[in-house]
Amino acid sequence: MKNQILKIVKIGGNVINNEDALRSFLKDFAALEGPKILVHGGGRKASEVSAAMGLEPKMINGRRVTDEATVEVVTMVYAGLLNKKIIANLQSFGCNAMGLSGADANCILAHKRIVKDIDYGFAGDVDAINSEIIGVLIKNNVTPVFCAITHDKNGQLLNTNADTIASEVAIGMSNLYKTELNFVFELKGVLEDIEDKNSVIEQINSEKYEQLVVKGVIADGMLPKMHNCFNSLEKGVDKVKIGDASLVKSSTKLYTTLSL
């Protein structure tokens, strides 16, 4: 299978939050030829459901603090409502997909994040990917769709960053396939000028990445995303691309490709 390319695509909240955009993207994703995996986060829905239940979402540095009540909400929203909505749409486009959390078939094993400066509660850091069972699904023409929920093998569910899950799944599957990791977000790629949405930097290697960080071109929320990208390249992923929802179309020419 090492001669086959497996595409791992992660979609962000800008797609999930817009039903028309989500359906359009899923139609394009379903049309992708060859083996593929989809990873999704939760968008705004978890915060909306929390508010409806009288729970105040707790955020620190833009990251959700997952207490006991919140882990129940995010599991219901990510692994339930959003995941099954995505699955139903993919089935309507002829893509035989299966919705999964990390706990299902022990696909993604994680541990509760060790508290250093900030306690994020039941946030999970990935330990291992069960590439064998994921490979069985793909071999049988089933497209896995992972939400941002993992587990610790001791009965505890964990809220885990979806970018990290996508990166770790790509790394884990690289022993079976040539893996291509695609991060889909609201921009066409990494921008030279944030005010110019077409100023996409088409190629970034590790040296240029360091230069862009020093210049402040890559900053804030892009830093952890780019860290995941280069970490995956260093650990066996063949290619990483960043772009908007059109990234999965073969006709798309404007996006950022990362290399070591």
Residue 67, classed as helix, strand or coil, is coil
Residue 62 confidence (pLDDT) = 66
Q: Is 44 annotated among the ligand-binding residues?
A: no
Q: Which domains, and CATH codes, for the chain?
A: 5-186 (3.40.1160.10)
Task: Summarize pLDDT for 81-125 with one digit per residue, the tens.
Answer: 999 999 999 999 999 999 999 999 999 999 999 998 889 999 999
Strands (DSSP E) contained in the chain are 5-11, 36-40, 59-60, 63-64, 97-100, 108-112, 124-129, 143-146, 149-151, 157-159, 178-184, 203-204, 239-243, 256-258
Q: Report d(CA 252, CA 247) in Å as an integer.
A: 6
Q: Report d(CA 147, CA 149) in Å as an integer.
A: 6
Q: Is 64 annotated among the ligand-binding residues?
A: yes
Task: Summarize pLDDT for 126-179 with one digit per residue, the tens.
Answer: 999 999 999 999 999 999 999 999 999 999 999 999 999 999 999 999 999 999
Task: Summarize pLDDT for 28-75 with one digit per residue, the tens.
Answer: 999 999 999 999 998 688 889 988 999 887 777 767 789 999 999 999
Report CA torsion sign: 93, 89, 148, 217: positive
- Residue 225's DSSP bridge partners are none
Task: Summarize pLDDT for 93-104 with one digit per residue, the tens.
Answer: 999 999 999 999
pTM for the predicted model, two decimal places: 0.95
Q: Is 42 annotated among the ligand-binding residues?
A: yes
- The answer to whether the CB of 241 falls within 8 A of the CB of 256 is yes
- The answer to whether the CB of 42 falls within 8 A of the CB of 80 is no
Tokens 């896995």, located at residue: 144
- Residue 182's DSSP bridge partners are 9, 241
Who wins on pLDDT, 62 or 201? Answer: 201
Q: Is 94 annotated among the ligand-binding residues?
A: no
Q: 217: left (phi > 0), else alpha (psi -120 to 50), else beta?
A: alpha
Residue 1 confidence (pLDDT) = 65
